[in-house]
Chains A and B, each alone.
Chain A
Amino acid sequence: MTLPPAPPRRPQVRCFSTLDLLAALRALPEALRESHARTGRRPLVLIDGLTSHAAADRATRMGREPGTTLTQSRVQEALSRSVQRIAKHEHAAVVVTTTSPGRVNEGGAVSPAVSWAFRAPLLACWRGTVTARLMLQPSPRSGDAGVLLARFLQPEAPEVHAFRVDAAGAVVPV
């Protein structure tokens, strides 16, 4: 007798600090291996808010106490290695979201207009980890309330896509 295939699963981990996030990522490979062996398909890992706790880490002076080995850069390196391991060795597709410091123009200053100049919110250790980058921002035009804009910066594409998020949370093109 053959059992029907199990329906897809959606495990969720909620993190409340950078170290929570690191622990979650370090715990994922076994679950990903099990998923791939069970379904034969690449699981998808979505990491929402990768940079969410950076400000708190700075505010709490993580790693600035004398003699500590738990520095911000070392934790970021460990996070980067964990994400690369998941992508390369565990057959998973990985998507992360990061929060940009704001619209920037070519000179790096904050701009009120649409600009696709990119100021990386991730530390240098993440360079080489990202294989594709989608940039989002609200439309600055006064008549475009609620309209969001998206453009691929890597690989670079000139098209700008406008969309809204409806009341149900669905992404709807405009």
Chain B
Amino acid sequence: MEICGILQSGKTSVVSNLSVAAITGQEPRDVFLVDADGRFDPLLVMQLLQADDASEDYFETPEVQEILERFHLVGLAG
């Protein structure tokens, strides 16, 4: 799959969220990040994983479930 967009259009944020969804999903899987852009901040992913509101419950919230479904993120991971 290709995620294409102009600068500052959210590409890195979408793949960061996809990374977190794949690691913490119902069937957690290894994620290999290849960062050619210099923007994929590992701290951002850790922040998403470890933030107070990013606990297990975070991914069960309707808002997060909706965005994952709308962007087919969980499905794409499989």
Q: B-contacting residues of A (Cβ < 8 Å)?
A: 7-16, 18, 20-21, 24-25, 28, 31-32, 35, 39, 41-50, 52-53, 92-103, 118, 121-122, 130-138, 148, 150, 161, 163, 165, 168-173
Q: Is A12 within 8 A of B5, CB to CB? A: no
CA distance A130 to B1 in the complex (A): 6
Contact of A136 (CB < 8 Å), options: B3, B23, B64, B67: B3
Q: From residue A63, how far is it (CB to closest CB) to chain B in Å?
A: 19
Question: Which residue in A39, A41, A46, A118 is a CB contact (below 8 Å) of B4?
Answer: A118
B77 touches A44 (CB 8 A): yes
- Size category of the B interface is 35 or more
Bound state CA distance, A166 and B51, in angstroms? 13
| Distance of A12 from chain B, by nearest CB (Å) | 4
Instruction: Please tell me if the beta carbons of B35 and A170 are within 8 angstroms of each other in the complex.
Output: no
Q: Please indicate the chain A residues that have their CB under 8 angstroms from the CB of B2 in the complex.
A: 95-98, 122, 130, 132-134
Contact A39 B30 (CB under 8 A): yes
Query: How far apart sit A103 and B6, CA to CA, in the bound complex (Å)?
Result: 7
Residue of B3, B70, B78 near A96 (CB, 8 A) is B3
Q: Once bound together, how far apart are the Cα atoms of A46 and B37, in whole Å? A: 12
- With A48-B11, A48-B37, A163-B10 given, is the CB distance from A8 to B28 under 8 Å? yes
Report chain A residues within 8 Å CB of B32.
10-13, 28, 31-32, 35, 43-46, 92
> Closest CB of chain A to B20's CB: distance in Å?
9
Chain A residues with CB below 8 A from B29, complex form? 8, 39, 41-44
In the complex, residue of chain B having the shortest beta-carbon distance to the beta carbon of A41: B29
